[in-house]
Amino acid sequence: MSKESWLPTLKTDTPEEGYDLAVKLARKAVGMTQPDENVRKELRPVYANNADSLTFASQVVAINFQTVAAANNYWNE
Amino acid sequence: MSKESWLPTLKTDTPEEGYDLAVKLARKAVGMTQPDENVRKELRPVYANNADSLTFASQVVAINFQTVAAANNYWNE
Amino acid sequence: MSKESWLPTLKTDTPEEGYDLAVKLARKAVGMTQPDENVRKELRPVYANNADSLTFASQVVAINFQTVAAANNYWNE
Amino acid sequence: MSKESWLPTLKTDTPEEGYDLAVKLARKAVGMTQPDENVRKELRPVYANNADSLTFASQVVAINFQTVAAANNYWNE
Amino acid sequence: MSKESWLPTLKTDTPEEGYDLAVKLARKAVGMTQPDENVRKELRPVYANNADSLTFASQVVAINFQTVAAANNYWNE
Amino acid sequence: MSKESWLPTLKTDTPEEGYDLAVKLARKAVGMTQPDENVRKELRPVYANNADSLTFASQVVAINFQTVAAANNYWNE
């Protein structure tokens, strides 16, 4: 496991950190598809001001959170 | 587990509280993407009056409810 | 478990009742996002006469049915 | 289990029958949202001739097939 | 298990064959909704040249691949 | 298991490699639907500069990552 990995583990100490990791996972694929940070910054106001785009972003976080939560056995012990 | 965490646990006493938590999870990602509460308030009538937007919101709750329900072993016992 | 809860349990006697519960779960989030029943009634003909909106509604039911079916161990025994 | 139930069980003898049941589940929610058969018939050519609508229909079947396949333990044994 | 079944089993020897089966599952529902092969052929260039339609097609394959992979216990052993 | 297989296994050494495999799975279905690499290249700027298209791409990666993560038992030994 490389120290430089952006994703060394799916384990987190708390559900909240797990949720943050889900957000990170959602954003990573966006960055891999559009590597230009300037373009991503220009797009941000587009979807941050559109109701359906915000729901869509929340959906992808929800899917990733399913994965992270399962990986942590839902933080039950 | 910090007292200030917005998500200290995925455990709830009842399915209904679990559903409420799923709604909270869905809204959290929206708030992280659009932190400006005023903008979110302006967007609310847009999606609250659009049939597909309402279905979309329900979909994200459904995905999060899958996670919360599994975390609570579906409240069996 | 409150008697007044709209969701006291995910358990149902039959798959058909489980499907009805999935429909209820899908509608609940819509009602929480748009609490005005009159608005929801006005929106009904919009999506009930649109093919993709109907498919979308069916999708949310399908996601919720996954949860309900798992909670009932797929009604095996 | 009522004889008249449209969904007496999620069990099927074969994967193919399970897939047919997934299609039935997808259509059921459409029929519950739009009970008028004539309207549904009018909508059919709309989505049956639209590529994305067909993909969407296939998606809902896929989600339901996940449920049916799990209920049948993927027909292993 | 009928010899003529288009889906006699969810088991495949390799992940790659499992992925092909997921594609087959995705296409089957399309064919059941639009049985006319000529119409489907006419629609092909529409979605094959549209970025979001291609992503959508990939999504349905992904959902079906979840089912097939689980049915094969992820080809572990 | 053929050496030439594009998908010999779902196992990866690390979560990061698993995420890369999820991206690969998402792209594979696109390539199977639109085999012409030139067309795909032309489409790339279309979705790489559209916020919702990027979210959509991230969603399909998320679904595939669920599969890969489960196949690796979430990299918990």
Q: Which of C57, E64, B60, E21 is nearest to D62 (CA)?
A: E64
Touching, F vs C (3+ Cβ pairs under 8 A)? no
Quick check: A28 contacting F, CB < 8 Å?
yes
Span A2-6, average pLDDT: 79
CB contact at 8 A, C73 and C23: no
Residue in chain B lying closest to C35 (CA): B48
* Residue B30: per-residue pLDDT: 97
Choice between A72 and F3, residue whose per-residue pLDDT is larger: A72
CB contact at 8 A, F57 and F47: yes
Q: Is A60 exposed, middle or buried (0-12, 13-18, 19+ CB in 10 A)?
A: buried
Chain mean pLDDT for chain A: 95
CB contact at 8 A, D63 and E58: no
pLDDT in tens, F39-68: 999 999 999 999 999 999 999 999 999 999
Provide the shortest C-alpha distance from residue D31 to chain E (in Å).
15
In this complex, how many residue pairs, one in chain D and one in chain E, have their CB atoms less than 8 Å apart?
93
pLDDT in tens, E31-58: 999 999 999 999 999 999 999 999 999 9
* Residue D3: per-residue pLDDT: 62
Span A1-26, average pLDDT: 92
Provide the shortest C-alpha distance from residue A4 to chain F (in Å).
11
Which regions in chain C score pLDDT beneath 70?
1-3
* Residue C3: per-residue pLDDT: 62
Phi, psi of A12 (to 5 degrees): -135, 160
Quick check: E59 contacting F, CB < 8 Å?
yes
Nearest-angstrom CA–CA distance, B61 and C63: 10
Nearest-angstrom CA–CA distance, A65 and A52: 20
Span B17-22, average pLDDT: 98
A35, A73, C12 from A31: Cα distances, Å:
5, 28, 44
Amino acid identity of A47?
Y
> Tokens for D5?
């139930």
Q: F75–A32: do the CB atoms touch at under 8 Å? A: no
Amino acid identity of E2?
S
> Tokens for D77?
């044994």
pLDDT at F1 > cutoff 60: no
Provide the shortest C-alpha distance from residue F31 to chain E (in Å).
9
pLDDT at D63 > cutoff 80: yes
> Tokens for C8?
């006291």
Nearest-angstrom CA–CA distance, A15 and A33: 28
Phi, psi of F6 (to 5 degrees): -80, -10
CB contact at 8 A, D75 and D14: yes
Q: Provide the 8-state DSSP code for F35.
A: -
Q: What are the start-end ranges of the H helices in B15-71?
A: 15-33, 37-48, 51-71
> Tokens for D13?
């003898």
pLDDT at A1 > cutoff 60: no
Residues 6+ apart with CB under 8 A from B26: A58, A62, B57, B60, B61, B64
Chain F residue numbers with beta carbons less than 8 Å from the beta carbon of A5 are 14-16
Residue owning tokens 């990573």 = A28
* Residue E77: per-residue pLDDT: 72
> Tokens for A5?
């990995």
Q: What are the start-end ranges of the H helices in chain F?
A: 15-33, 37-48, 51-71
Residue in chain D lying closest to E64 (CA): D62
* Residue C77: per-residue pLDDT: 72
Amino acid identity of A57?
A
pLDDT in tens, F3-20: 689 999 999 999 999 999
Q: Which of D66, C41, C5 is nearest to B54 (CA)?
A: C41
* Residue D77: per-residue pLDDT: 72
**Three-state secondary-structure class, residue E27:** helix
Q: Is D2 exposed, middle or buried (0-12, 13-18, 19+ CB in 10 A)?
A: exposed
